[in-house]
Structure 1
């Protein structure tokens, strides 16, 4: 009921996010309080962060491992909520289906409901209410029969001013972000900017409807892309199976030559599959996270369609709407899966003698290897431009030589040897620090 909602708002026990009386009030570091469930929905849209930004003042609250569950409760607000529920136990009982009088202590069967008083009345209370015209003149009363028949609704309470009881709140003050009646405007908001209540609510409704439609469209796009990911995964699995089949076929045809490399090749294809799985799962997880973030934000934004938003509630609604707008504007990565299908393998038998580097394509075909000189070991690395750096390490001599190659088919064409060149000086450090050189072999694009 609107009057009860205004009363709860006047006691500062309404959550700015759900616009309802606090449920399990939890407090951020800035002191602003929200329902725990509302914070959990808000946090679901920001799982990639280790903190929470207050929807009202934007101050940062560090989150523990348990996230929202680790936030402290606001015992003061909880006490106010308990007191509020205790004083309105009668109303709550009625709303649960027990239509009893909430005006007198006898709590007889209710025969009518007064919108202005926000109370159910038994026959005696109804008679007294109708006779005391000096107190209740102009009050709108409906019978419980009309409520049961559906011709009247106790939820259709007129939007009355909390100060001027008989005045409707038809105006919205853009400076103070509150709804008010004409008298309030003249007394307290004379020089402010105003809009009609219907216009403001229509604007909010249109904005929310637009965001909801775009959110549904965006979620559908992510779902379709996830399906595409699974389709690409199957293509990669098929290609890998073919690659492994070609490896086995080559092994059987040239068993003497490939015997010592067979397990290495199988291991490399398994690593290729694992890395593809990791990248595909990561991409899929990011899309799922975006869907969850959009859904969580939508559940919070949707509250603004049917409720009056003002002050903190309007600020929170605006911030969450803006964040949702940002999520909807983010581009979907359409290229990641396609890139996986074009990869080649650079393998190295690092610590074997002789140490060799060889290029394989995704069909299992390989080129002639590059072999190390006696006493040296080869460690390959590949950059984002498909350039292959091979470090030749001679540990007894304490010497490292880095050679730059460019793949041409299944061959490696030598381009530059560092040989003290300042141009490749930075490459030495980069390659030596690369995780590729801390392994015996690696693969990349």
Structure 2
């Protein structure tokens, strides 16, 4: 009973962290005490916070500059510990007295009564334990020693057997893991080969459709030009004959009328092209995409009609007629003088000139169709005293979230209409980059190689911590529709996190590319930017690390950045050091290849501070897509909303 009382007393002075007796007991503001060494080890994990959270009740205790060393010692626990040591000494004396029988003083209890399970003295046995099976203490100790030695020997044998089983199980587990990893690799290789086959099939089909479009469109253009030319010739001949009908016929007039009539007859004999266009119409109406069956590794084929051979011959046939010239209306002077011969000579020159003008106009229209305008909708300037802009995330179709790094705590929301309010409070600390997850959760990147996920809805002041490998910079993050978190920090890799695991689920190597920014499509294609790391590049990677298109800046003072819109189109922004000129180019993805779609006209930005890059001043430039026609850009001290041409 006394031993149990001592044990209960000692439990009151156990550290809740190491479960041992308190050593150098230190008191938190909530009243719980811990070993000072345990608290110091615990504080090293949370060195970026200005407080410590009690592991028992989760209440916080503010820390000063000395951290745990500045906390108050628990002097009461120290005093009670000394008292308990004194009680222990007294207990040892009591244990010595317990060897004597309490009923018969000075008589040792050296007989063990098995039915009663207690030690008794000889007088007790004579008085009340006769007939019970007893053993002398020495005999009992000998039996226990023999049993102990046998159990120890058996334990060693059994332990050796289990260690062998453990080694065998570990080996087989590693063999299984290696075998399954090999199978996964084979599956990925087979999948990549089939994807490559399908991509090649897709490119061939698209190329065939493009050829059909080009050839059929060219045929109809030729038909249109030819019909326009014939109509123009007929109209001119009719005008000439009508004009000549009211004039007296002299020799020159008779020759002119004769030539005009011959020209009109030739024009009227021109074929109307019904026969030559019938087959083209049939092809145009019968062009179909026929998907391949589920059992075939192919997308399908382009079907040109009932007779593919004849259709292919028609669309690949060279038009012997060429581009038709446009007949012009002769000037009034030709009608007045009646110089028909001169008119016939100048007609060919006019047609060639008009043909050149049409080609030039067509080229101008093509250039115009590949260039669109942009318009700055709203600009928000942040003067030098208000801090630099770090990180930019699209909150909705008309709102963004911005951070300020070490200049200001927390982050703010800004809308297209000009409204602003605080999005995360100062308790989250410095914000070097920001991204959004579902369920009202927000990712905040800190200085160094870590970032935190905060629950914006509940307003929690503490976040789940994630970390990348050390790089000496800070982390830039983005997310996809599956709540995967993509993080880069100037190292040649992309870290992909998911769920509550603080370590990367996957690490995608990027070779010689050291990304500083990243964005992701809905299909998991990753687009990275090295920012102001020269040469500045925008590079496409798939989830297995295969490299696609890489857009490289033309010189060391030019930087390229990228964002992805909701249609999975890639918008690349090009800026120049010490400049306020912005160039935007939009690309569409074909697999991991970027195909240029449209170039937007240069936009002159009005900046509080020109875009700069140096050893001390990193080029701060962020771009995000709010809608397919609206982007937001953050530079060092400016937030700009830009409307793109449709």
TM tier, shorter chain?
0.3 to 0.5
Larger RCO (CA within 8 A; separation ≥ 6): 1
Structure with bigger gyration radius: 2
More helix by share: 1
